[in-house]
Amino acid sequence: MSSRTWVLAAVSCMVALGSTACRGDDDTDVARAEVGPEGGTVVSADSVLTIAILPGALEETIQLTIERSDDPPEVFGPAYAVHPNLDLAVPATVTYRFPLPPDTSQTAVGYVDPDEFAEGRARWRPLPLGRVDVERNLVTGVDSQLSLFYGLLEDVTDIPDPTDTDGPATGGGSSGSDGDGTTSRGDSGTTSGDPDTSVGPTTNSSTTDPGDSGSESSGGETTGPGLDCDNLPMGPLMVQEFMFTGTPLDDNAEDMTFSSLGSIIVRNGADLVQISPAGNVTTIPTMVALPDTLGLRWTNDGNIVAAAFSGELLLIEPSGAVSQLWGGLAIPNGVYPAIDGNIFFTDFSIPEAAFIDGAGTMITELGVGGVVAPQANGIVYDPDRNFVYYVSYGQGILWRVDVTDLGNPGMPQNILMIGPTSMGDQVGLDGMAMDACGNLYIVDQNQGAPGSLFRVELDAAGAPIGGAELLVEAFPDGVANAVFGQGPGWEAYDTTLFLVGLPGRIFMVDVGVPGAPTAVTG
């Protein structure tokens, strides 16, 4: 788990409305955390409310508290008091996890403005850009400040107004009205009466609920509770586009990563940017100009590792500091930081597959040369079966290396050949991802043609079951790499693969199963 994702201790005292107040033992516990300019995630003691604060949102470190409260007006589900209340330079993502009402068409996360509460005009208003995931009982929104109270609004068109004696509220929010009177706060001006029509889907349509029942893989190995690994949706699967401010990215978006701070991190031309679940884009300043990069992933200690065309692996810290983690390479390509701290990578030109320790002091080669690593590209580490998988771009080969003994890895084995689809003249295997069932997802970049997506089902011994299943034959635009939605604020997307490529558009495919644990999830 990232050192910048804070685990909150439950305590029995809180800072409430500017004064320190100790509660009795029978009161709800308080969640506390120190959050600074580098961002962080704060979760209520009962895990219902999550606030993800992105890097750059705060100018200084604060102590943030969350506790249940009966002070605001009545609302669907428990209400939560948050302190301190202040404006944010980058909007926070607010996630509410609670059994939802039967009709969620007008459901949203609600907030109470601290100034209105102080003036005796407390009322609930909906946050903008909400997403509703009925299967997982999740509702998300974004807030440009830390509001005084948060709760769940069953129907945003029927919110009582304490200043109106004639009926439900029909006006109010600082961002103006949408015509039917329902308003919400947010720079985008999007109203909560029509949540999130511009940024991705409003619901998660997957019929596979990871919380239903346990299962075994096709190879007979138990895959853990909540996974139905034998009944994953078959291709062709639907493709949706994730929209964000300034879509598409300018250039250089060869790869992307989720972070434990609640954002997508990706290249946008010369810049490194972060994208919130609501589609807000902010630049991550770095102390030096970054070279062009290929692989880009989040590490277990809360940094970013990038494979640079300058022949090195770079470490990018939240402070903006950039340092060389490993040099002397040719064209480093795929990167995969493991939970244990090791960083697996490929080099397209040497060619090789290898890994270094997290401190960048030692390298272990897994496969070197054109015989066992030609045009090495995407790479994934499977700690459960003790294998590393990587692909050869133009050759269409999936390789496997036994790393039961990390200090003495086995020889690479060619375990599968994947040919070009009808939409691509030449195969070009690129990025890889692994799901919680232990299956591989491989992007075929098709050497410039519209990309494709394959799933390779693996048995308990790590061997392919049949050939590669074509899930998406042709994306609307070029794609190169894929990552599962992970991290705070992205719970509604945990069964969704996000794909990006040089054209700068981000696409989504719901594959019906969450991703395997990574350095993002810990």
pLDDT per residue, tens digit, the chain (522 aa), is: 333 222 222 232 333 323 333 333 344 589 998 888 878 788 898 889 989 887 778 999 999 999 999 999 999 989 999 999 999 988 888 989 999 999 988 899 999 999 989 998 889 999 876 678 787 788 888 888 999 999 999 988 776 655 544 443 333 333 333 333 333 343 333 333 332 323 333 333 333 333 333 334 434 343 444 688 988 999 899 999 999 989 899 878 999 999 998 999 999 989 999 999 989 999 999 999 999 999 999 999 999 999 999 999 999 998 899 999 999 999 999 999 999 999 999 999 999 999 999 999 999 999 999 999 999 999 999 999 999 999 999 999 999 999 999 999 999 999 999 987 655 567 899 999 999 999 999 999 987 778 899 999 999 999 999 899 999 999 999 999 999 999 998 998 999 999 999 899 999 999 999 999 999 987
Distances in whole angstroms, Cα of residue 153 to Cα of each of 104, 127, 132, 281: 10, 10, 12, 27
At 114, give phi and psi (nearest 5°).
Answer: -65, -35
Strand, helix or coil for residue 446:
helix
Range(s) of the chain covered by CATH 2.60.220.30:
10-153
- The residue to which tokens 């350095």 are assigned: 519
Residues 6+ away with beta carbon under 8 Å from 74:
none
Edge-first strand listing for the sheet containing 452-456: 429-434, 440-444, 452-456, 469-472
Residue 271 tokens read as: 């810049």
Query: Dihedral sign, CA of 208, 211, 213, 214?
Result: positive
CB 440 within 8 A of CB 456: yes
Instruction: Reply yes or no: is the peptide bond before residue 409 cis, omega within 30 of 0.
Output: no
How many of the other CB atoms lie within 10 Å of CB of 382?
18
Residue 224 tokens read as: 């853990």
Identify the helix (H) or strand (E) that includes residue 142.
strand 138-145
CB 127 within 8 A of CB 94: yes
At 115, give phi and psi (nearest 5°).
Answer: -65, -45
- The residue to which tokens 């496997």 are assigned: 400
Range(s) of the chain covered by CATH 2.120.10.30:
215-226+233-357+375-510
- Across the strands, what pairs with 400? 389, 413
At 314, give phi and psi (nearest 5°).
Answer: -105, 145
At 116, give phi and psi (nearest 5°).
Answer: -65, -40
CATH superfamily of 215-226+233-357+375-510: TolB, C-terminal domain (2.120.10.30)
Q: How much is the pTM?
A: 0.68
Architecture of the domain made up of 10-153: Sandwich (2.60)
Distances in whole angstroms, Cα of residue 4 to Cα of each of 227, 321, 512: 29, 16, 30
According to the 3-state scheme, what is the secondary structure of 336-402? Answer: EECCCCCEEEEECCCCEEEEECCCCCCEEEEEECCCCCCCEEEEEEECCCCEEEEEECCCCEEEEEE
At 455, give phi and psi (nearest 5°).
Answer: -115, 135
What is the torsion angle, in degrees rounded to the nearest 10, for the CA atoms of residue 215, residue 218, residue 223 and residue 228? -40
The Cα 298–Cα 282 span in angstroms is 17
Q: Which residues of 406-418 are buried (b: 16+ CB within 10 A; e: fewer)?
A: beebbebbebbeb
**Which among 414, 444, 418 is positioned nearest to 429, based on CA atoms?**
444
DSSP code, position 447: G
How many of the other CB atoms lie within 10 Å of CB of 36?
16
